Amino acid sequence: MTIYKGFSTYNRNKKFRLTDFALAKQDLFNHFNIHKGEKLMNPDFGSIIWNLLYEPFTPEVKKLIVDDITRIAKYDPRIAVNNVNVVEYQYGLQVELTLTYVPNNQIEVLYMQFNQQSSTTN
């Protein structure tokens, strides 16, 4: 079985080296932290969530966000999306994302918060 290896410059208090599912999750978080159209030479990369934070949370906006999250997660062949749930949360949105790490069939639920005040992902 292939072991994916990478490095993280984020949260250096923890181990600097990432492998397998931890690396895939960090790659996913990095993808969500880039606004769509912001990456040089790849305008389709990134997320539209940051542009929708100030919009009223209608069913249409929720569907756009779920579709965007699914598109981003499918970008990485190591990850399969099981479930996406988006709810309003204080000054932004909270996403509950159930993923399967394909190489070893590991399932995990990720919680991400997109905040209007700080524009960061947790």
Residue 120 lies in a domain: no
Nearest residue to 94 (alpha-carbon basis) of 64, 114, 72, 121: 114
Residue 39 lies in a domain: yes
Q: Cα–Cα distance between 66 and 27 in angstroms, integer? A: 18
Q: Report residue 29 CA to chain centroid gap.
A: 4
**Residue 15: per-residue pLDDT:** 54
pLDDT tens sequence for the chain (122 residues)? 555 444 444 454 555 567 788 888 988 998 999 999 888 898 889 999 999 998 999 999 999 999 999 999 999 999 999 999 999 988 899 999 999 999 999 999 999 999 876 554 44
**Residue 83: per-residue pLDDT:** 97
Residue 53 lies in a domain: yes
CATH number for the domain spanning 61: value is 3.10.450.40
- Whole-model pTM over 0.75: yes
**Residue 87: per-residue pLDDT:** 95
Residue 43 lies in a domain: yes
Residue 122 lies in a domain: no
**Residue 2: per-residue pLDDT:** 56
User: How many contiguous H segments (helices) and E segments (strands) does the chain have?
Assistant: 3, 5
Residue 121 lies in a domain: no
**Residue 88: per-residue pLDDT:** 93
Give the range of the structural domain holding residue 108, as residue numbers without chain letter: 5-115
The burial class, CB within 10 Å (0-12 / 13-18 / 19+), for 65 is buried
Report the alpha-carbon angle 99-40-68, nearest 5.
Answer: 30
The burial class, CB within 10 Å (0-12 / 13-18 / 19+), for 7 is exposed
Residue 105 lies in a domain: yes
**Residue 89: per-residue pLDDT:** 87
When divided into structural domains, the chain yields a total of 1
